[in-house]
Amino acid sequence: MLGNMLLGLATMVLCLMLQVTWFVMMIRYYARHRHQIGDGSYWSSFVLVSMVMMILVAGIMAQIAIWAGLFQVLGEFDAFSVAFYHSAVNFASLGYGDIVMSEQRRLLGALEAINGMLMIGISIAALMVPFKKALQHKGIDKI
């Protein structure tokens, strides 16, 4: 159990480093394109917020792939596609249960779910900045 805990925490730290990297990429993209919010077009604001969201989603998908790779290296799944699906379900905290890990490694699934909740929360908070700015500029921030 201690080994799984340490392995899971190390993977969480790796995911946090990746999240920070993607977060910086998102900030740089937003800083270069934030003028699109002020041009008066709903479309340009929509494109900017959508691109920010896609950058954040790419970061989340990369983290899911890291967990899937770990599960595959540990011998939990033969195919990466199955490991990725299982990882995505864990990361999103859905826990369907249609594919489960061995009893020996189940704690890693719970740690991935905790990691996913934290990283998705960070992504949502980051996405709210350009979204709120776009709403404010369009005068719809009184909702």
Please state the pTM of the whole predicted model.
0.85
Q: CA–CA separation, 57 vs 119, rounded Å?
A: 11
Q: CA–CA separation, 5 vs 107, rounded Å?
A: 7
Higher-scoring residue by pLDDT: 46, 6: 6
Higher-scoring residue by pLDDT: 116, 41: 116
Model confidence band, residue 40 (pLDDT cutoffs 50, 70, 90): low
Mean pLDDT of 97-111: 88
What is the chain's length?
A: 143
Segment 47-72, tens digit of pLDDT: 888 998 999 999 999 999 999 999 99
In angstroms, how far is CA 106 from the centroid of its own chain?
A: 21
Sort 137 into a burial class: Cβ within 10 Å, 0-12 / 13-18 / 19+: middle
Q: What is the pLDDT of residue 137?
A: 72
Interior angle at CA 72, CA 10 and CA 88, nearest 5 = 75
The pLDDT mean for the chain works out to 88
Q: Which residue has the tokens 């991935």?
A: 112
Specify the 3-state DSSP secondary structure of 31.
helix
